[in-house]
Amino acid sequence: MMPATIQPPPGRQPAGAPAARAREVTKIYGHGPAAVTALEGVSLDIPAGSFTAVMGPSGSGKSTLMHCLAGLDTVTSGRIWIGDTEITGLRERQLTRLRRDRIGFVFQAYNLLPVLSAAANITLPLDIAGRPADPEWLTTVIDTVGLGGRLGHRPAELSGGQQQRVAVARALASRPDIVFADEPTGNLDSRASAEVLGLLRRSVGEFGQTVVMVTHDPVAASYAGRVVFLADGRIAGGLDRPTPASVLDAMKNLGE
Amino acid sequence: MFRSVFIGALFRSMLAHRLRLVLTGLAIALGVAFMAGSFTFSATLTRSLDSLFAQASTGTDVEVMHASPGGSTITGSPAQPVPASVLATVRRVPGVAAADGQVTGQAVLLGRDGKPLPGSFGVALSWPADAPFQQSFTGRTGQPPAGPGQVMIDRASARRGHFAAGQRIGIAIAGHAVPFTITGITGYGSADTIAGGSMAIFSLPAAQQLFGKPGQYDQIAVKAAPGVSAAQLRDRIASVLPPGDVAVTAAAASASAARQINSALGVLTGFFLGFAGIALFVGAFVIWNTFSIMIGQRTRELALTRALGASAGQVFRSVLAEAAVLATAGSAAGVGLGLGLARGLAALLAAFGFALPISGLALPAAELAIAAGTGIAITVIASLPAAWRATRIAPVQAMRDPAPEPARFSAGRLAGGLAITLAGVAALLAGILAGNGQIVLAAAGAACCFIGITVLAPLTVRPLARLSAAPLLRLPGRVGLLARGNTMRNPKRTSATAAALMIGLAVIAATSVLVSSARATIGQQVHAASRTSFYVQAANGTSGLSPALARAIAAQPGVRAVTEVRQTTATVAGAAGRTIDGIDPSAIGQFTDLGVTAGRLSALAAPGTIMVSAEVASGRGWTTGDAITVQFGAYGLYRLRITGIFANIGPLSSYLVANTTLAADSGVRTDSVDLIQAPRSARNAIRSALAGYPGAQLTDQAGYIASQTKVLNSLLTLVTAMLILAIVIALLGVVNTLALSISERTREIGLLRAIGMQRSQLRQMITAESVIISVIGALLGIILGLGLGAALAAALTTSRQATVTIPAGQLVIYILATAAAGVLASIGPARRAARLDTLTAIAAE
């Protein structure tokens, strides 16, 4: 299916180097007695070309961790790198540019712009940047997500699964260093979920894309190559080559 | 219990949206302010003028004058003077304590640069010999004028021109500059001068000589002896007067003058109230749209209250209560603003050259209550559709996602919109063409037009948005495309917002079409008929030009012929404000081709005759031989016989009389324009004859046409200035719509920021939306205004070839200005959108 000539996007870190790193990251919301510690001394490496799932019970800090890694939120202390760029301490403007050029997002609630067609939604980050799309890469991405016939449709004319596939295509279109997916299957039925998760896994396997996915669904997590567990704002363990059963086991242990 | 919770929630929700509250309240407050300001302004003026006239007649009990005076009492002279012998007769009447002959005229004070001092008019008076009649001249310094070459001037002019007693001043009389020595400076009653004009006071013999009335008076002021009432004295004097002269009490004379001026002011007040009405109408649009959007956004909340047991009536009342609170606050603020605006209006008028006396604000309680009541009523009425829609929200909608309003466009809407628009156009045209008294019909027609177009407008949003967004698509980062999509996603909302802007622009566009068509018509008329090479005109038209100037010009080398044209306004067969030109019937044919279609021009030389244009004659159904009533100034009523009908107005007006008739019936003895036939080379010679006439302007044909159309340009400027408030109110509506749509789109904005849209790009997007909405409003307004203006221009020129000129350049400027206003309107909402926190925005419901 995939042409052999497609190369990993330029500017990638050499194989093995982490696509993102967190060192002793602490995030505290509020001040004084009302302060809530969401993350406490989290250190994590996301290897390039890996598919990592972040799991944990509600309030474990998994979403906060993702937001901090993606430059959507600031940390209270600690340092974060995307590739070799330290993002902690970057100004708002630089962070925005970094998100635009080097990060892709897939959110739970699709988050497509209703006024744009599926095709325009896919190229939106490139358009915002004023960068021309690489037509060959775009074709590959669109073929992969399987939307060929529906590109001219508005989001309201697409099913939930189709909308989320458009969101994945949008995340991949700019060849980001890393794609963050926040509960990407939270609103989907099991069949559409399987499609979207398969898509994310193929992007890792076939294109060498790095993907970090936050989820609370063991089945979703089992698509990843590695699961990182979070509890009470700390890393509580990890699991390579997860299966739904092994993830469930690990979750049970977390609760104890 | 439930009710109090409900009302409490209402107020909390209102407080939570303070800014929107303030903007919406302001939309009403501004219209109310305009209305209250107009009422206050007019009440203040009326009071000021009443006191002015009372002051003018201080010390005088009875006035004696010719029975047919012309011109207004303040500025004009009676048509015929009273011979000096009458003064002696009056003095012999028992009960007369003092009697004084007086001469009035027009005199323009010149600054040190030789140019007229600013002011709306210049009045000349004679210094009364008896102390009772000197009481109006208050706070005098220096000496009264005693001989030729001496003058006393008013304090306001002295201050403006930096003049002091003992200094020299130039005064233009009949356009001719004459040097005088200032002997004294005076106030007038409680003010520094008379009703915003200037005063030049000469000794009686000097005034008689200057105004060509030796041994004559314009009026005689009489003071009654103690124990004799004004009415008694009037009757005694009347019994001894020669035929043609009358005696009136000073109170009656000033009341009549005040009535005359107040009726002119009534027109002015009506003019302001018309614009206040437009502002309120626009405000109603903004309220309607804002409430509609708010109810749409509150669907879930309202459905929840219904699910919890609130009745439809309670929901209805809660929306109306919100509107009523807003309306009351807005209207109260509006009345307060209006008092300030009343002073502003006076300043605005002064800037346009109509300085009027203002002494302290009058507070017309009843009218102010009407203004506030109108504001409240309009707001509540405008919120009714939203309140009604709120009652139709089903409880189950609390559990559903807010369904976007279907933006379908039904054929019924199309038919209804067209029907309302056409009915409106018909009513508007009927109202305007019916003449006076049909203003209500015209206004209702205009309102119908706007409502009809508003009903149709959603149909036009998509194409108009495409058109107005076209230049914005070049913005980097798809900002323009996103903005266009956002304005097109809810065509009803966009069109309702744009419709508010449309109203002001439609009136401006219609006026500019009318003005440019009238300008073209005048130009065509002059070009078609005139054989005149040069025109010498009286500047400002205040005091006219001395016939001596015409003689001086005629004596210049190269000048072949000169003729004098005089002018006055009169009420002709009931139609007020008609311009009548005085001409020399034996000479005028050389200067312009009148194209006489009936009767003979030479017959006009006979007294009591008039000629009318074919347009007027056919409009009124007049033929030669008919007698029509012409009222010059306040009282002079004459029957004039139509001796001829002419086809070409050329540089003249639709009514022509001989200069001799004009002088006898209206007292106008100075020229408004001298027509000259001379080769181009004679220009400098003619110019040299104008030396010493600061009020005279030499122009060629093009310059003459420009000067004739100048007043039209001022009218357009005034209308535009009056409509700026309506446009500001409409822009408040744009701000509201943007703010509300941003709060609806919080999550989208969060997404855009997450995937890398910079704050500046986001601001650009909101600004582009604002510009698109504004330009749609401008385009709708200009299309409607073009239609109305062209229809009116065509209708007003029915009897001749319709002349409709479209001022394309001007219309483009209006569109650009509206786009710029759209940028301003977006500043607040764009900044707020850019400040949204990305994370909370994404998580927003």
B653: in domain: yes
Higher pLDDT, A234 or B49: A234
* Chain B residues 742-771 with CB within 8 Å of chain A: 747-748, 751-759, 761
Minimal-distance CA residue of chain A relative to B486: A115
The token duo for B309 is: 């047991």
Phi, then psi, of B609 in degrees rounded to 5: -125, 160
The answer to whether residue B652 sits within a structural domain is yes
Q: Which of residues 483-512 of B touch A (CB under 8 A)?
A: 485-486, 488-489
Among candidate residues B364, B388, B403, the one where a domain is terminated: B403
Question: Which two tokens mark B103?
Answer: 């001469």
- pLDDT tens digits along A67-81: 999 998 889 999 999
Percent of all residues in chain B with a pLDDT value above 90, rounded to a whole number: 30
Instruction: List, for residues B389-399, the tens digit of each pLDDT value.
Output: 888 887 777 66
Q: Is A105 within 8 Å of chain B by CB?
A: yes
Tokens of B565: 């044209």
Q: How far is A245 from chain B (nearest CA, A)?
A: 31
Residues B549 and B644 in one domain: yes
pLDDT value, residue B650: 86
Q: Is B41 inside any structural domain?
A: yes
pLDDT for res B578: 84
CB contact under 8 A, A115 and B477: no
Residues B102 and B205 in one domain: yes
Same structural domain for residues B266 and B395? yes
CATH number for the domain whose boundaries are A48-75+90-255? 3.40.50.300
Residue A45 pLDDT class (50, 70, 90 cuts): very high
**Nearest Cβ partner for A115 among B485, B759, B761:** B485
CA angle B75, B81, B83 (to 5 degrees): 145
- Closest residue of A to B760, CA-based? A93
Q: Which residues of chain A are within 8 Å of residue B754 when distances are taken between CB atoms?
A: 70, 72, 99, 105, 107
Q: What pLDDT is stored for residue B69 in this prediction?
A: 47
Residue type, B755: I
Strand pairing category for B245-249 and B198-202: unpaired
User: Considering its fold, how many domains does chain B have in total?
Assistant: 4
Single out the residue in B251, B280, B307 at which a domain terminates: B251
Helices (H), B470-546: 479-488, 491-529
Q: pLDDT averaged over consecutive 10-residue blocks of chain B (845 residues)? A: 56 69 88 90 80 76 75 50 90 92 88 81 89 87 92 91 93 88 89 80 93 88 91 92 86 78 78 88 90 83 80 86 91 92 73 57 86 93 90 74 55 86 85 67 84 87 89 84 88 89 91 87 86 85 78 91 89 82 91 90 91 88 91 72 91 90 79 90 90 86 87 86 89 90 86 89 93 94 88 67 78 93 92 86 69
Residue A3, exposed/middle/buried by CB under 10 A (0-12, 13-18, 19+)?
exposed
As given in the structure block, the two tokens for residue B608 are 């009591």
**Distance (Å) from the C-alpha of residue B289 to the closest C-alpha of chain A?**
22
Which residue range(s) make up the domain with B489? 460-527+709-845
Phi/psi at B423 (5° precision): -60, -40
d(CA A77, nearest CA chain B) in Å: 19
Q: If you measure CA to CA, which chain A residue comes closest to B759?
A: A93
The answer, for A252 touching chain B at a CB cutoff of 8 Å, is: no
Q: What pLDDT sits at residue B10?
A: 62
B462 part of contact set with chain A, CB < 8 Å = no
Q: CA dist B266 to A46, B269, B350, Å?
A: 82, 5, 18
Categorise residue B162: left if φ over 0, alpha if ψ from -120 to 50, beta otherwise: left
Contact yes or no for B755 and A105 at CB 8 A: yes
A92 chain-B contacts, CB cut-off 8 A? 759
* CB-based contact B83:B64 (threshold 8 Å): no
Which chain B residues are closer than 8 Å to A102 by Cβ?
none
Task: Answer whether B756 sits within 8 Å of A73, measured CB to CB.
Answer: no
Separation between Cα atoms, residue B201 and residue B104, nearest integer Å: 9
Tell me which chain A residue has its CA closest to the CA of residue B747: A111
Work out the widest C-alpha separation in chain B, in whole angstroms. 102
Flag whether B801 is in a domain: yes
How does the average pLDDT of chain A come out, rounded? Answer: 86
Taking a C-beta distance cutoff of 8 angstroms, is the pair B440, B485 a contact? no
Spatial distance between the Cα atoms of B297 and B166, rounded to a whole number of angstroms = 76
Cα three-residue angle B590-B591-B594, rounded to 5 degrees: 85
Closest CA to B670 of B825, B541, B491: B541
CA dist., res. A159 & res. A164, Å (int): 9
Q: How far apart are CA B173 and CA B692, in angstroms?
A: 11
pLDDT for B71 equals 42
B552 touches chain A (CB under 8 A): no
Type of residue found at B364: P
Is the pLDDT score of A214 beyond 60?
yes
CB within 8 Å of B683: residues ≥ 6 apart = B534, B698
Asked if B697 and B707 touch (Cβ cutoff 8 Å), the reply is: yes
Which of B399, B415, B354 lies closest to B197 in space, CA to CA?
B354
A157 CB within 8 Å of a chain B CB: no
| Start-end of H helices in A70-134 | 92-102, 118-122, 124-129
| Interface membership of A170 toward B (CB under 8 Å) | yes
Indicate if B212 and B73 belong to the same structural domain: yes
Partner residue facing B755 (CB), from A99, A116, A120: A99
From chain B, the residues in CB contact with A170 under 8 A are 755
- B842 and A CB contact within 8 Å: yes
Interface test with A, best of B748, B755, B765 (most A CBs within 10 A): B755
Same-domain status, B267 and B305:
yes
No. of helices (H) and no. of strands (E), chain B: 24, 24
Q: Are B32 and B126 in a shared domain? A: no
Residues B215 and B316 in one domain: no
B579 falls within a domain = yes
Question: Residue A232, by phi and psi: left (phi above 0), alpha (psi -120 to 50) or beta?
Answer: left
Q: Among A35-44, A219-228, B116-125, B142-151, where is mean pLDDT lowest?
A: B116-125
Cβ within 8 Å, pair B748-A113 = yes
Task: State the pLDDT at residue B73.
Answer: 39
Residues of A whose CB is below 8 A from B838: 72
Query: Do residue B759 and residue A96 have CB atoms under 8 angstroms apart?
Result: yes
| Beta carbons of B842 and A111 less than 8 Å apart | yes
Q: Compute the half-sphere exposure of residue B18: CA atoms within 13 Å on the CB side of its CA.
A: 1
Residue ranges per domain, chain A?
48-75+90-255
8 Å CB contact between A213 and A227 = no
